[in-house]
Amino acid sequence: MTPEVQFINLGLIDYKEAWDLQEKLFNQTIQDKISIRNGDATLTTKNYVLFCEHPHVFTLGKSGHEEHLLLNNQELEEHNASFYKINRGGDITYHGPGQLVVYPIFDLDHFFTDIHKYMRYLEESVIQTLSEFGINAGRAPGLTGVWIDGDTPSARKICAMGVKSSRWVTMHGIGFNVNSDLSYFSHIIPCGINDKAVTSMQQELEKELDMQEVSNTLKQKLAENFGFSYVTETP
């Protein structure tokens, strides 16, 4: 049976507001799984994919180091940016306008119970999306995310990843640099990696991209790679 996923386009949304929605859906899914395992035959778990952009924000994962943020509180205000310590894996990263952020809240019992495979499928969906726009991307040895020239000295990251899972339910996800203001990455040590550059589709192609076109392509690639169908559209 083909898994079904509800697609929700949140548009430009405050990071904390999107995080709260993720937590709500994530916790509800976990509670439903517990009820099902306790014998409630009336319930089924749901899967969601949230697409959005955020105002300028830096987020620090559980395994991160606060010193990888190179701005103090006053400088954060001057750059119109916020900062959150959050419960995903990984170190520090940046989100902002022009970056496509994707949060899958999946019950992996509908797909496969393998977090490594899950992350590789997310990466592959981005790699295939970039290919549709003429950008040859892939992986970097020993590192997560999507990279261009990942196995060379000119390696540069175009998509960061960080996820949380509990009882095979996922949250958080990817930050995909489409038309991102890359100057904000100079204020952090991205993902704790200080010897690799960050890039965007706009920088690689030397033109601004249509965010909706990129979103539609990635949305399709996610469905193809994970083998699901979308059940509803939320504008």
pLDDT number for residue 208: 98
Q: Which of 5, 105, 182, 191 is catalytic?
A: 191
| Whole-structure pTM value | 0.93
Q: What is the spatial distance between Cα 225 and Cα 88, in angstroms, rounded to a whole number? A: 23
Task: Give residues with Cβ within 8 angstroms of 61, minimum separation 6.
Answer: 86, 87, 88, 89, 90, 91, 92, 93, 162
pLDDT number for residue 235: 44
Q: What is the spatial distance between Cα 185 and Cα 193, in angstroms, rounded to a whole number? A: 11
52 among known catalytic residues: no
Tally Cβ neighbours within 10 Å of residue 189.
18
pLDDT tens across 105-155, in order?
Answer: 999 999 999 999 999 999 999 999 999 999 999 999 889 999 999 999 999
pLDDT tens across 158-176, in order?
Answer: 999 999 999 999 999 999 9
pLDDT number for residue 92: 86
DSSP state of 138: B
Domains of the chain (ranges, CATH numbers): 4-16+44-234 (3.30.930.10)
